[in-house]
A and B are shown apart, each in its own frame.
Chain A
Amino acid sequence: MKSCKVHTMARVFPILIFVMLCAPSALAHPQKGEAVGFLTGFRHPISGLDHVLAMIAVGLWGAQLGSPAIWLLPVAFPMVMAVGGMLGLMGIPLPGTEYGIALSAMLLGAAVLLELRPSLRIAALLVGFFAIFHGHAHGTELPRGQSALLYSMGFVIATGCLHAVGIGIGTFHRWGWGQKLLRAAGGLVTMGGVFFLWKAAA
C-alpha cells in the first residue's frame, strides 16, 4: 500500500514540475511591460537633481529672455537632447558627461542669476551644447527590456514638463519682486551646479 503511494507520488511529481514550468506570465495589465516603460521613462529625468536643476534653469532663462527664446528653447532642447541620448544608446562615448551636466546647471543658473541676455543664437547654442550631455547620460543609463517607444515618450515628456515648470516660474518675471525671485532661483541652481561639479571631481 505504502509502495503504491510512493509510486503515485513519483508519477505526479514530474507532472507538477511540468505544469509549473509552463506557467504563463502575469497579464494583470493590458500591455505587459509597456506601462512600466512609460512610467520608468517619465521618472528618469526627474530622478536626478542635477538634471532637474538644469532643465528648470532652461525654462527660467527662456522666460527671462522672452519671446522668441521662451518658445525656441523648449522646441529645440528635446531634439538636441535626444541626439545625445541616441549617441549614448549607440554606445558612442562622450567624455566628461558628469562634468558637462554639473557645468550646465552652474552656467545656466549663473545666466539666470546675472540675467544675461546674449543673442538668441548663442543662447540656443549654449543650451543645445549642454542638452547633448544630459541626453547622453540618460541614453547610457537606460535599462534593458523596456518598451523603447513608451520609455522614450515618457522620458521626453518629463523633460518637457520640467521646462514647463521653469517657464511657469518664469512668468513671475513681469513683477519686480518676481525678477528678484528668479535671480535668487538662478543663484540656487548655480550653487547646486557647483556642488555637483565638486561631487563629479571627487
Chain B
Amino acid sequence: MNRKRKSHLSLYAFVAFSFAMSAVPAEAHLNSTGMGPFYDGLIHFLMNPEDIVPVVALALLAGLRGANYGRRALFVLPTAWFLGALAGLSALAANPHPFIAAAWFVLLGGLVAADAHVSLRATTVLAALLGLYHGYLNGTGMGQSLSTTVILVGLVFAIFVLIALVAAFVVRLRASWARVAIRVGGSWIAASGLLMLGWATRAR
C-alpha cells in the first residue's frame, strides 16, 4: 500500500513538473523586443491602436488649428502621459472602462470632423487629460524595476515623435481638399468610437 502511494507520488510530481515546464510567458502588458527596455516601451505604444488613434486625433486637431496648438500638444501630451504612467506604476491592475476609450475616439474624432475652433487652453486640457488617462493605464501592471523608467521613456518618445510628425504634416496643409481629407479622417475615428460604444454595450 505504501509502495503504491510512493509510485503515485512520483506520477503527480512528474505531472506537476510538466505543468511548470509548459508555462507560457505572461502576456499581461509588454511585448519584449529583445532590444532592451527603451524599445520595449516604444513598441508597446506602436503596437497598441487604442493608444495610437487618440494621439493621432489630437495631433490632427492641433495641426488643423495651427503651429501654436501643435507645439502645445507636442509637449503637454507626452509629459502628462509620463506623469500618468508614474502614477499608474503603484497600481497593480487597472480596469479600463471601454466607454471611456470609445468616448475619447468620439470626442477627438468629432472635433476634427467638425474642424472645431477649440481654444489653446481647451487643447491643453484635452492633451493633459488624454495623457494622464492613457499614461495611467500604461503604467499599471508594469511593475517597479530599474528598467521601468526606461520603458516609459521609450513609450513617451514614440508619442513625441508621432505627434510631432502628424501635427507638422497637418499644419503645412493649405489646400481646402487636403483639410477636408483630414476631417474625413476625423469622422472615421469618431465613427469607430461610436461603433466601439455599441460594442461595449453589447458586451455588458
Show the binding face of A for B, using Cβ within 8 Å.
Answer: 11, 14-15, 18-19, 22, 24, 30-31, 34, 71, 74-76, 78-79, 81-83, 85-91, 139, 142, 148-153, 155-157, 160
- Give the complex CA separation of A152 and B193 in angstroms: 8
Residue among B14, B15, B199, B202 having the largest count of chain A Cβ atoms under 10 Å = B199
Closest to A88 in B: B198
CA distance A44 to B37 in the complex (A): 39
Q: Which residues of B contact A91 (CB under 8 A)?
A: 202
B204 to chain A, nearest CB (A): 10
**In whole Å, how far is B60's beta carbon from the nearest beta carbon of chain A?**
13
> What CA separation (Å) do A13 and B125 show in the bound complex?
62
The tally of CB-CB contacts under 8 A between chains A and B is 106
Contact (Cβ within 8 A) B191 A71 = no
Closest to B7 in A: A11
A81 partner residues in chain B, CB cutoff 8 A: 191
Q: Which residue of A lies closest to B114 (CB)?
A: A75
Given contacts A75-B183, A153-B49, whether A83 and B194 have CB atoms under 8 Å apart is: yes
- Other-chain contact of B192, A74, A75, A152 (Cβ < 8 Å): A152
Contact B11 A11 (CB under 8 A): yes
Find residues 19-63 in chain B having any chain A CB closer than 8 Å to their own CB: 19, 22, 24, 31, 47, 49-50, 53
Contact (Cβ within 8 A) B184 A74 = yes
A sample of 16 inter-chain contacts (CB < 8 A) reads: A15-B11, A18-B18, A19-B22, A22-B19, A24-B22, A71-B180, A75-B180, A78-B188, A82-B193, A91-B202, A148-B98, A148-B195, A148-B203, A149-B49, A155-B192, A157-B188
B201 within 8 A of A: yes
- Is the Cβ of A76 less than 8 Å from the Cβ of B195? no
- CB-CB under 8 A from A76, the residues of chain B are 187
- Complex CA–CA separation, A30 to B203 (angstroms): 25
| Contact A82/B31 with A24-B24, A89-B202, A157-B188 known, Cβ cut-off 8 Å | no
